[in-house]
Structures are given as structure tokens and as C-alpha cells.
């Protein structure tokens, strides 16, 4: 059996995903055959991966990023269970890449044994194939209301005897209380697996923090393996769009005399918001996720992104008045782009008996197409051309299909087999393809057209920006941070030898489980 490690966190967005990626990159640099693993992810930011059998499936985008950090192609086994929330109460269940069910709080418990069996089998397979499997937890391991059926955090660690490190985000405050409390709410068997801590996103003088680290060791009997500094450049491939700031990244100065301002409407059920990250790597392009009407009205380009619940988010767009702002933007001749669910919102109508089950719904009517939802989801990688012969690639994850379009409708993209994709009518664009802006030449041509339509004649697109290069630099930076700021010798011993013996119990431990009879 290979070495293994579980990276748990005091909260969601504590830094589990980036630390897992950083450890994978560090091990990959050492020549270790390493794979990432997240038993269950809850996210609408997903990636499409294609297996050796040619079948396409979905996994969390963070696990695709972690696979890149490990120097390997992503697989559905790296994230066997993906929950895609469609509302606050229900989620679509994606099992080994394929949508298999919808669950809500009331029936999820009955499905958990099947999911746990798949998770345990998949992890055992990966540990037989790789030298090290770095597992990422979900949320917090101290979610005591869920512990009796947990197979993602300490339930997984206990099943596979995984040593566990807990990462806490000091930028939020209260990190020592969060780290101590996480251990103190675990039962003795789970505490035996928690080997120590990592502090994330630290700013300032480390000498001021050291006494607290010493006291944390004194009260828990566990070391802190290191303190990772806050790094403003680590923003690509965020696990959840809620983790984004108002402006994506740190936009570089323009190559010309003018900036391009891009407003991405932050839909309540936004999915694959990472589509616009590639735009944000371009010098002179400011990309903001926003719900502010004034920011949308002032933007050069407005983007309606993907949605896990298109009809509901379209209703929200109307309720907030943002639909009027978007329509006025388009009527003024300024560029508007809809991606996947956003493209569907731009249509004349949607017929939906699948997600919202509201039948036929009138849309914004900015593109002369009609959309109907199919029960079976389209999940595929796609490739084609745009603007004549410019190569472009992407991926598709959608239930909606264009069932009627006006004759002669100009497509935005063309599949390699000659089929039209999306629409480009004057200043309004739409496509079901995600990830197109990762194609450098297509991104440049699209931004050049956007600048023309927006009257930003002083904007000059950079000829040398590489999105793949930006992603690799980000992953290398993660590996650098692990090597420079963590005790990697101790971390390697932990991976090789497993949980240390004799770790002390931290009271009070987990409270008794409630009677669910």
C-alpha cells in the first residue's frame, strides 16, 4: 500500500485545495508518483475529463488542477462523488463522473452507504497504483452532526489509516481557537490520526506568531508543520466562486492606452465561473464578479456565466432589475456574452421539464434561438474553430439544447465536424462551451472584437499571454511555498510512516451521537 495523507481544514476555503495542490507539486518535483483525491466535493465548478475508454465525466475543477500539479491527466477517480447544488436544499449527484441522482437533506443519508463504498474502493485502487495519494477533506472534520455517516473527512482517514493535517486560515481570525477546537471535538480514535497543523494566509512578522504556535503545541501535543504566507497571485482555479474577491487576480497594466472593463454577473447558482479567469490573465483587462447594477452598466463587456439552475437565476436577474441593465447594455451596441446557462438566458424561450420543471419560460430575447432541456446531460470535450480558422477548445456540461434557431444565424464557433455552435449576432454572443478563453489565440481575437464594439480603440491585446503558462506558474508557486515554508522532512515521514504513535487526547472529545431512530 502506498503512502497517504489527508489535508483537512477548520472551515471551507481554509486552504485545503491549494495546500493539496502544493503538496502534489512538491512530491512530483521529487519524482514521486502522486495522485490527488477528494472523496466528495460540493461545487458547481466542474471540469470534464475523458478516460482511457473515451467516456467523458465530471469532477471538481480543483481536482483537475491538483492533477496538473501532480503532472498527470485528471481522472474521474480523483473525485468519485461530486454534489452540484441546484438550490439550498437539493443537489445533483455525480458518481464517478456521471450524473446518477438528485438528493436533498431528507434522502441523502439513504444514499451515503453506496457513495461510501464507491469512495473506499476507488481510494484503494489509487493507493495500489500510486506511490502517494494526497486526499483533501471537505468542509470541517469536526462537523459533529454528520460524523456517524462521514466518509469524506475523519471517516475516510479512519477507514484508510491516513495521517491527517489540519489547515486553518489566519486571515479570517481566530485560527488558534479553530485549530484547537477542531481536534477537541473529535473522538479519541479520530484524534489519534490528527498529526498536526498548518497555518495559512499569514501576513506580518512570523516572530509575533511563534508564541501562539508553541502554546498550540502545548495544549494539543501536536506540531505545526509550517506557516504559509498570504499570496495575492494564487487565485486561478478557485474551488468555489464565493472565494473570489471583487476583482479577479491582479490585472497588469494595459499594453495600449486604455483598459477593458469586464463585469461578470454573479448569479446565485453560478457554475464554472472559472471560465473568465483566462480573461483576467490578460494585461489591461479588469474582470469583476458583481451584482451591482452600476458596475454592470459601466462595463465594456458583460458576461452572463453558467448556472446550475438557469430558470431560477433568470427569475433572479429580473427580480433584481439586472435584466433591464443587461438589455440596455446590449441595445447600446456594447458587447454581451452568455456562456452555457447565460447563453440560454439570452434566448427567446426555454422549455424546462428537467431542472425547474416550469415548462416554457420567456427569456431575454437577445438571440433568435429557443432552448429545450433534455433529461440526459451533455458532458463532453469539444474542439473547433472561430473567427474563420482560429482554433478553439472547450468542454460542455448542460441539459439545455438549441431546438430552433433562425435561418442563417451566424455561429460563434464551429465544431471540427462542421456543426455550428452558439451564436454571434452583432454585439451579442452566446455558446454552450466552457473554457474557450483558455485558447490563447481565440481569447485575443475575441477581446479585440470586444474592444472594437465597446469603442476602446486604445486597447491593445497582448500577443504573448499564455493561460497555460500562467497556470503552470501558479502551480510552481504552490510547490515553492510548500518547500520554503513547511517542514517537508517531517511531512515526508508522516506520509511514509502514517499517524504518529502516542498522540495525546484533547478533551472533551466528540459529544455522544444523537439517537436517529
Catalytic residues: 340, 434
Residue of 172, 290, 281 whose CA lies nearest to 236? 281
Contact 84, 94 (CB under 8 A): yes
436 DSSP assignment: G
Burial of 158 (0-12, 13-18, 19+ CB in 10 A): middle
Residue 515 and residue 517: Cα distance in Å, rounded? 6
Query: Where are any strands of DSSP class E within 30-163?
Result: 34-37, 40-42, 46-50, 56-60, 81-85, 90-95, 98-104, 132-136
Sorted by sequence, the CB contacts under 8 Å of residue 172 that are 6+ apart come out as: 11
3-state secondary structure 75-97: CHHHCCEEEEECCCCEEEEEECC
Ramachandran area for residue 331 (φ above 0: left; ψ -120 to 50: alpha; else beta): alpha
Q: How far is CA 85 from CA 94, 308, 407, 509, in A?
A: 11, 7, 36, 32
Residue 141 and residue 150: Cα distance in Å, rounded? 9
- The cell for 281 is 490573465
Name the CA dihedral angle for 128, 134, 140, 141, rounded to a multiple of 10 degrees.
40
Amino acid at each position: 500500500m502506498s503512502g497517504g495523507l489527508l489535508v483537512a481544514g477548520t472551515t471551507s476555503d481554509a486552504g485545503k485545495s491549494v495546500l493539496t495542490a502544493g503538496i502534489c507539486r512538491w512530491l512530483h518535483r521529487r519524482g514521486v508518483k502522486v495522485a490527488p483525491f477528494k472523496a466528495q466535493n460540493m461545487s458547481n465548478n466542474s471540469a470534464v475529463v475523458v478516460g482511457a475508454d473515451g467516456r467523458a465525466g465530471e469532477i471538481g475543477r480543483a481536482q483537475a488542477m491538483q492533477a496538473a500539479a501532480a503532472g498527470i491527466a485528471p481522472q474521474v477517480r480523483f473525485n468519485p462523488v461530486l454534489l452540484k447544488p441546484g438550490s439550498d436544499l437539493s443537489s445533483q449527484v455525480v458518481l464517478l463522473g456521471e450524473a446518477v441522482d438528485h438528493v436533498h437533506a431528507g434522502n441523502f443519508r439513504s444514499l451515503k452507504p453506496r457513495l461510501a463504498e464507491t469512495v473506499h474502493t476507488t481510494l484503494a485502487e489509487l493507493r495500489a497504483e500510486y506511490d502517494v495519494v494526497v486526499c483533501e477533506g471537505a468542509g470541517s472534520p469536526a462537523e459533529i452532526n454528520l460524523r456517524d455517516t462521514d466518509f469524506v473527512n475523519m471517516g475516510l482517514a479512519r477507514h484508510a489509516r491516513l495521517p491527517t493535517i489540519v489547515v486553518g486560515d489566519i486571515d479570517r481570525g481566530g485560527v488558534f481557537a479553530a485549530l484547537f477546537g477542531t481536534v477537541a471535538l473529535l473522538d479519541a480514535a479520530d484524534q489519534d490520526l490528527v498529526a498536526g497543523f498548518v497555518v495559512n494566509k499569514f501576513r506580518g512578522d512570523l516572530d509575533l506568531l511563534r508564541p501562539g504556535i508553541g502554546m498550540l503545541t502545548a495544549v494539543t501535543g501536536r506540531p505545526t508543520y509550517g506557516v504559509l504566507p498570504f499570496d495575492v497571485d494564487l487565485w486561478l482555479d478557485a474551488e468555489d466562486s464565493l472565494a473570489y474577491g471583487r476583482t479577479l487576480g491582479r490585472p497588469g497594466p494595459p499594453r495600449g492606452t486604455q483598459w477593458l472593463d469586464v463585469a461578470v454577473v454573479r448569479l446565485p447558482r453560478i457554475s464554472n465561473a472559472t471560465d473568465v479567469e483566462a480573461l483576467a490573465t490578460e494585461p489591461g483587462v479588469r474582470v469583476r464578479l458583481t451584482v451591482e447594477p452600476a458596475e454592470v452598466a459601466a462595463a465594456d463587456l458583460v458576461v452572463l456565466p453558467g448556472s446550475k439552475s438557469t430558470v431560477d437565476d433568470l427569475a433572479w436577474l429580473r427580480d433584481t432589475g439586472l435584466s433591464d441593465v443587461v438589455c440596455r447594455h446590449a441595445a447600446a451596441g456594447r458587447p454581451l456574452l452568455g456562456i452555457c446557462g447565460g447563453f440560454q438566458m439570452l434566448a427567446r424561450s426555454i422549455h424546462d421539464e428537467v431542472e425547474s420543471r416550469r415548462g416554457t419560460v420567456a427569456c431575454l430575447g437577445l438571440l433568435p434561438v429557443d432552448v429545450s432541456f433534455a433529461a440526459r446531460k451533455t458532458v463532453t470535450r469539444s474542439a473547433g474553430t472561430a473567427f474563420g480558422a482560429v482554433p478553439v477548445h472547450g468542454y460542455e456540461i448542460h441539459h439545455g439544447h438549441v431546438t430552433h434557431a433562425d435561418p442563417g444565424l451566424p455561429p460563434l464557433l464551429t465544431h471540427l465536424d462542421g456543426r455550428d455552435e452558439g451564436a454571434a449576432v452583432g454585439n451579442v454572443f452566446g455558446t454552450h462551451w466552457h473554457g474557450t478563453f483558455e485558447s490563447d489565440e481565440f481569447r485575443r481575437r475575441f477581446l479585440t472584437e470586444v474592444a472594437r464594439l465597446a469603442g476602446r480603440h486604445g486597447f491593445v491585446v497582448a500577443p504573448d499571454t499564455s493561460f497555460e503558462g500562467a497556470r503552470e506558474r501558479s502551480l510552481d508557486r504552490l510547490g515553492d511555498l510548500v518547500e520554503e515554508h513547511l517542514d517537508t522532512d517531517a511531512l515526508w515521514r508522516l506520509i511514509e510512516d502514517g499517524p504518529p504513535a502516542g498522540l495525546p487526547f484533547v478533551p472533551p472529545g466528540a459529544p455522544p451521537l444523537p439517537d436517529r431512530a
